[in-house]
Amino acid sequence: MEMNIKKVLTPTPGRGLVIAGPCSAETEGQVMQCAKDLAKLNQVDLFRSGIWKPRTRPGSFEGVGKEGLQWLKRVKEETGLRTTTEVAKAAHVYDCLKAGIDVLWLGARTTVNPFSVQEVADALNGTDIPVLIKNPINPDLGLWQGAVERIYKAGITRIGLIHRGFSYHGKTSYRNVPRWQMAIEMKRKFPDLQMFVDNSHICGRRDTLQEVAQEALNLNYDGLMTEVHPRPDEAWSDAAQQITPQVFGEMLQNLRLRKPTADEVEMAELIELRRQIDEVDSDLIGMLGKRMQLADSIGEFKAARNIAVLQSDRWEAIMAEAAKAGVKHGLSEEFMKSYLRAVHQESIDHQDAIVNK
């Protein structure tokens, strides 16, 4: 689908784009204090605050609702900061348009539901307001892509992406695992869409916010969305991942922007390194091909003797030993397990095809 996409925000030379503000608008005083403190940094492009908060379980704070829109209106009038908030249904869109909100965003729980995205898209029809779209909770690139296409078909051309990580049911240091490759693939599909990292939701805690923000800048993201609160420990939602405006300002000062590409002298060295990687990749593909030939032979052996394809004990032993070996060579355990699962699944598919002939 060919698209004519425009920028949601215009970059300031020398720095990345910055979206910041509290997770939730709690009181008018809290919103105004945060906005005024952030405005002093002179680096914030968009003030964010949740007005309607989709919560996993009932009884949690679900936002102040329409009343908070007037607080955001005051933020714009008194600080000059443009504002953004999350919308999940048509009524939210209409209320935001009436209040003069500058940018809307679709949250992860909305992006995951095409019916909800379409409802928002229908409400947007005939408007010209920029929209940011967070990745869906689950790692489904099709849902993220579909949300972009639905909003674009509504006539919105200023569309951006927010990478906030994906749910993961296992032990991890992240609140939502980044799965950087999925965001990179989304950017490949839509190269004109600005990409922001929501380091707050990826991390879920304060101490790793700068690390994740820097990694995103290293990957040539356009900017970041970070949750900032004047008194984070007292926040009514997501207290552990919010920081004060002062700490946020220090984080911005410590972030390092990367050049989007190399100059002519640097490019020659980079081309040579890429050539070497291409050679190694070619060797790896060849070795994987040989491995699958052996898997075919094993499949023929099992078929002739009526042996089950999956040998669970052997697979568990391979996983444990290979993961350890990978770590010794500088490879993360998570990568090794993902790689081994993919190779094992391909081997199983090969053997299944032979056994089922």
d(CA 122, CA 198): 26
Q: Model confidence at 104, in pLDDT bands (50, 70, 90)?
A: very high
Structural domain 264-355, CATH architecture: Up-down Bundle (1.20)
- Residue 268: per-residue pLDDT: 74
302, burial (CB in 10 Å: exposed 0-12, middle 13-18, buried 19+): middle
- Segment 196-214 shows an average pLDDT of 97
Q: How far apart are CA 351 and CA 250, in angstroms?
A: 56
Among 171-175, 205-209, 266-270, the range with the most confident prediction by mean pLDDT is 205-209
pLDDT for position 265:
63
Write the pLDDT tens digit of every residue in 302-319.
888 888 887 777 878 888
Give the pLDDT mean for 24-50.
Answer: 98
- Calculate mean pLDDT across residues 242-255: 97
Mutual angle of helices 180-189 and 141-153, in 10-degree steps? 30
pLDDT tens for 276-299 read: 999 899 889 999 999 999 989 988
Domain boundaries, the chain: 17-254, 264-355
First vs last C-alpha separation in the chain:
40
Q: Name, in order, each residue with C-beta under 8 angstroms of 169's C-beta and a sequence gap of 6 or more.
A: none
Q: Give the model confidence (pLDDT) of 310-349 as tens digits.
A: 777 787 888 888 888 888 899 988 888 888 889 889 988 8
Average pLDDT, the chain: 92
pTM, two decimal places? 0.80
Question: 17-254: which CATH topology?
Answer: TIM Barrel (3.20.20)
pLDDT at residue 222 in the model: 95
What is the share, in percent, of the chain residues with pLDDT greater than 70? 98
The pLDDT tens digits of the residues spanning 176-197 come to 999 999 999 999 999 999 999 9
Which pLDDT band holds residue 262 (cuts at 50, 70, 90)? Answer: low
For residues 26-47, average pLDDT: 98
**Residues 51-69: tens digit of each pLDDT:** 998 877 787 788 899 999 9
Please say if the pLDDT value at position 8 is more than 80.
Answer: yes
Q: Given this model, what pLDDT does residue 261 score?
A: 67
